[in-house]
Amino acid sequence: MPVKTFIEAIREGLAEEMRRDPTTIVLGEDVGLKGGVFLATDGLHGEFGDDRVIDTPLTESMIVGASIGAAVNGLRPIAEIQFADFIFPAFNQILSEAARMRYRSNNALGVPMTIRAPYGGGVHGALYHSQSVEAFFTHIPGLKVVIPSTPYDAKGLLRSSIRNDDPVLFFEHKKMYRSVRGEVPDGEYTVPLGRAQVTRVGSRVTVVAYGLMAHYALEAADRAAEDGISVEVVDVRTLRPLDRETLLSSVRKTGKCLVVYEDNKFGGYGAEIAAIVAEEAFEFLDGPVTRVAGPDVPGVPYNHVLEDWFMVNPDKILAAIRTLAAY
């Protein structure tokens, strides 16, 4: 099976979906001739032309708002927000309009739109090129939020997102674009939304993670095994809808749950996971639901020492696993 980088899988997913469905368009800043600042859309303009690969002005609200209208009138827009950090000017369109259109029109109007945005730190992007923004969107009914961690999942989940009849936020950890490789089969396949995956089977501690953290969790689990601690890793993959069953069945088996996320700890997505586990698997727990997350500062600092201080890494996860296992 061919091995590809994370971004190659995304690029292929976009191109194949555009070939399959002529109603798909891509729009965003620099997505045309340049092919995106990370080259996620490289080659699409040459193949599909001006009408279907649209360079927009620096107008995030317009990119999303016009995508909503285009979706209402028969297209399937794939909007790129160049960095997740810059999605906030579009927040009103996503929250007030895209998320509510189906509900407020009593199911008469849907918004089949995918918004792709690179997120995450560890790339010397400092405060405004490193943010994890998923919690803002997982809070909103009507939106779906996807964060893949492997090239296989990225391509398969992207296909499912584009074909989905609801607005999907598709966040890609930019540190993984070229550092993560994996097998991606040729030909048609999809990964369904709303399914978590157990990426490592274990018995004593469940670690729940997504995106880059799903890789760090596996690395920490491997090292914990050297200490004789058997760790199960659940890669959430779709944050909303959340696959509660896979999550809860793992915790019911291990009795211990560690949630790992890169966002600021307070009020982050992992807090919801912790609450669900506490509510629905309390009698199976043999220790406190624990979180490892980013510190509560307004952004990831630029200086490499400060950035290292901010970032969750396998060492921090391993330390938390040991503490929880010993509880």
Partner 1 sequence: MAATPRTREEQPPVDGGDPSVNVGKPGAEHGKSAARLGADLGLDDDALVGMYRMVALARAIDERMWILNRSGRIPFVISGQGHEGAQVGITWALRRAHDWIAPFYRSIATCLTFGMTARDMMTAQYATANDPSSGGRQMPGHYGHPSHNIVSVSSPVATQILHAVGIALAARIRGTDQVAMTFMGEGSSNQGDVHEGLNFAAIHHLPFVLVVENNGYAISVPATKELALPDVAARASGYGIPGVVVDGADVLACYRASKIAVERARRGEGPTLIEAKVTRLTGHSSDDQQTKYRAAEELTAERARDALPHFREQLRAVGILDDATVARIDAENRVIVDDATTYAEAQPDPDPATALDHVYAEGVEGTF
Catalytic residues: 129
Task: Name the residue nearer to partner 1 (CB basis): 7 or 53.
Answer: 53
Quick one: 26 or 214, whose CB is closer to partner 1?
26
CA 187 – CA 228 distance, rounded (Å):
41
The residue behind tokens 């890494």 is 313
Cβ closer to partner 1: 74 or 298? 74
3-class DSSP string for 29-51 = CCCCCCCCCCCCCCCHHHHHCCC
Q: Which is nearer to partner 1, 8 or 60 (CB)?
A: 60
- Comparison of 39 and 276: residue with beta carbon closer to partner 1: 276
Other C-beta atoms closer than 10 Å to the C-beta of 91 total 16
Nearest residue to 177 via CA among 154, 200, 198, 210: 154
Edge-to-edge order in the sheet of strand 168-173: 53-55, 24-28, 76-80, 114-119, 168-173, 144-146, 238-240
Element (H, E) at 178: helix 176-179
Q: How far is the CB of 127 from partner 1 (least distance, A)?
A: 23
Q: Give me the least distance between CB of 52 and partner 1, in Å please.
A: 7
Six token digits for residue 271: 């807090």
Residues that bind partner 1 (CB under 8 A): 23, 25, 51-52, 56-57, 59, 61-62, 64-75, 77, 89, 92-93, 96-97, 100-110, 141-142, 144, 164-166, 192-195, 238, 240-245
From the CB of 147, what's the least distance to partner 1, in Å? 14
Cβ atoms of 251 and 284 within 8 Å: the answer is yes
CB of 110 to partner 1, least distance (A): 6
Closer Cβ to partner 1, 8 or 166, answer by number = 166
CA 93 from centre of chain: 20
Alpha-carbon distance of 269 to 132, in angstroms, equals 10
Token pair for 255: 């009795």
Record the tokens describing residue 169, joined without a space: 């936020």
> Closest distance between partner 1 and the C-beta of residue 324, in Å?
26
CA distance linking residue 258 with residue 273, whole number of Å:
10
Least CB distance from residue 246 to partner 1, whole Å?
10
